[in-house]
Amino acid sequence: MLFLAEQGIGVPILCRDIAHAVGVSEPCVASVLRILAKRGVLESLKGKGGGFALRPEAASLSAYDILQAVSTAPEKQVHCILGQKVCSDLHPCPLHTAWMELQEQQNNLLRGFCLASLIPS
């Protein structure tokens, strides 16, 4: 996302160029790009001059919003830090409350950064 943002809003970049720039395999990058396009964060442009481009509204998305867009797990689904099968607010493990508070602090921190603010000037 940062790489795309650095190229400019609406500027199409080929998947292979993104993969090369960020040092991740093309199939992995393609998978993430398809998810982001399906969720409306990116625009997928076909044909000559095509690629993936940030939609104008993407600049205002928070880091949290972007992570949620690529996440396959529901927002509230959190696995037990101790690996217990049954761990919830009703049946907490010894670290459940602290872990949930830490998760919320992390989410709040990520909500405080929009994509535009993460792009170096």
Query: Is residue 38's pLDDT more than 70?
Result: yes
Any idea what the CATH number is for the domain that residue 28 is in? 1.10.10.10
Write down the pLDDT at residue 119.
72
Write down the pLDDT at residue 26.
96
Query: Is residue 59's pLDDT more than 90?
Result: no
User: 3-class DSSP state for residue 95?
Assistant: coil
- Domain housing 53: 2-118
Write down the pLDDT at residue 9.
86
Write down the pLDDT at residue 75.
60
User: 3-class DSSP state for residue 52?
Assistant: strand
Query: Is residue 49's pLDDT more than 70?
Result: yes
How many other C-beta atoms are found inside a 10 Å radius of the C-beta of residue 96?
18
How many other C-beta atoms are found inside a 10 Å radius of the C-beta of residue 106?
11
Helix pair 26-38, 15-22: axis angle to 10 deg: 120
The token duo for 3 is 């790489």
Write down the pLDDT at residue 120.
64
Mean pLDDT score, 56-75: 83
Write down the pLDDT at residue 98.
94
Query: Is residue 106's pLDDT more than 70?
Result: yes
Is-contact 42 52, C-beta < 8 A?
yes
Rg of the chain taking only CA atoms, in angstroms: 17
pLDDT digits (tens, 9 = 90+) for 87-105: 888 999 999 999 999 989 9
Query: Is residue 27's pLDDT more than 90?
Result: yes
Provide the number of structural domains found in the chain: 1
The token duo for 78 is 């959190």
